[in-house]
Structure 1
Amino acid sequence: MFNWLSENSSSVQAIASVVTAVIWLVYLQILVGGIRRNKRAWLSINRGAGDGLNAHVLVTNLGNEPVYLRDILMKVRTDDKTTRAFITERQEYSREELSDALNGTLQGPLQAGAYRSLGDLREIFHRAGLSDASEDLEKIKEIEFVVFGATHTTAGACKTYSVVCDDNNNLRLDPTRMQTRRLSRWRCRRIARNAAQQAA
């Protein structure tokens, strides 16, 4: 055995070098992947703090880095059309009602682990210029919230809710999937561009 090793020492060293390089490459990939995951924005959209039209829509930063919220888009789908409206600016409040002018917008930094309420559904509907009358609510099939943010790159998330009205005309939002869907950079740009074109 030792004689074979001494006779083939150069081959054994070459194989050992290759195996060592492969191991270091695997470790490097794990290290880089961990760093990228830690810096990746992770936004969550949920409904809570109330029922029906009094329920709030909450955006939470589940990442390790602060996220700057830029825009919030709401899409409302009925049988015959889809309405898109940016609900970033809290137009339901006048400047006199706000202790700070910055409270009139949802834009701004969101620290890691922090959350921000987009308002309750009644406020959001008024902000989007939509009616909250029971006969209009019954026509709605789905509501989708899209959040655009930024860290060192573009961040985005969306969540879709199906709308259910009970016998007492109480509105309920049921998520079509439990997890908030993350959006790629190009998809954020495409959604924002389409919404801007419709608003123009």
Structure 2
Amino acid sequence: MFTWLSENASVVQAVAAIVTALIWLVYLQILVGGIRRNKRAWLSINRGAGDGMNAHVLVSNLGNEPVYLRDILMKVRTDEKTTPAFITERQEYSREELGDALNGTLQGPLQGGAYRSLGDLREIFRRAGLSDAPEELEKINEIEFVVFGATHTTAGACKTYSVVCDDNNNLRLDPTRMQTRRLSRWRCRRIGRRAAAEGA
């Protein structure tokens, strides 16, 4: 055994060097992947804190890094059409009601682990210029919320809710999928451009 090793020392050293390099490459990939995951923006959209039109829509930052919320888009789909509206500015309140002008917008940094309420559905509908009359709510099939944010790159997320009205015309939002869908940079740009072209 030792004779074979001494005779093939150069080959053994080369193989050992290659194996060591491969092990270090694996460790490097794990390290870089962990750093990228920690810096990756992860926004979540959920319904909570109320029922029906009093339910709030919440945006949470599940990542470690702060995310700057830039715009929030709502799309309301009926059988006839899809109505997009940016709901970033809280125009349903006067400046006197808000007290602080900065409370009049949903823009701003969202720290890791923090959340922000977009308002309850009644407020959001007023902000979007939509009617919350029972006969109008019955026509709605789906509501989609799209959040545009920014870290060192563009961050985006969207979640779609199907709309169910009970016999008492109480609206309920049921998510079409439990997880919030993350949006790539190019998809954020495309959705934003299309909404702007449609006059949102």
Same fold (TM over 0.5): yes
1:141 maps to which residue?
A: 141
Aligned mates of 1:72, 1:173 — CA distance in 2: 18
Aligned mates of 1:56, 1:93 — CA distance in 2: 17
TM-score in terms of structure 2 length? 0.99
Identity of aligned residues (%): 89
**Cα shift readout 1:81-136 (whole Å, capped 9, x = no counterpart):** 00000000000011111211000000000011110000000000010011101111
Aligned mates of 1:167, 1:178 — CA distance in 2: 25
Provide the secondary structure at the position in 2 that maps to 1:30: helix
2:82 maps to which residue?
A: 82
1:35 maps to which residue?
A: 35
- Structure 1 vs Structure 2 CA RMSD: 0.7
Gap runs ≥5 in structure 1: none
- Matched to 1:150, the amino acid is A
1:26 maps to which residue?
A: 26
1:157 maps to which residue?
A: 157
Summarize the alignment of residues 13-162 of structure 1 with structure 2, pairs less than 5 Å apart. 13-162=13-162
Aligned mates of 1:147, 1:122 — CA distance in 2: 19
**Cα shift readout 1:31-69 (whole Å, capped 9, x = no counterpart):** 000000000000000000000000000000000000000
**Cα shift readout 1:148-191 (whole Å, capped 9, x = no counterpart):** 00011100000000000000000000000001000000000000
Gap runs ≥5 in structure 2: none
Structure 1 ranges of 4+ moved more than 4 A: none
Aligned mates of 1:34, 1:154 — CA distance in 2: 20
Q: What is the deviation of 1:195?
A: 0.3
The total of aligned residue pairs comes to 200
Provide the secondary structure at the position in 1 that maps to 2:102: helix
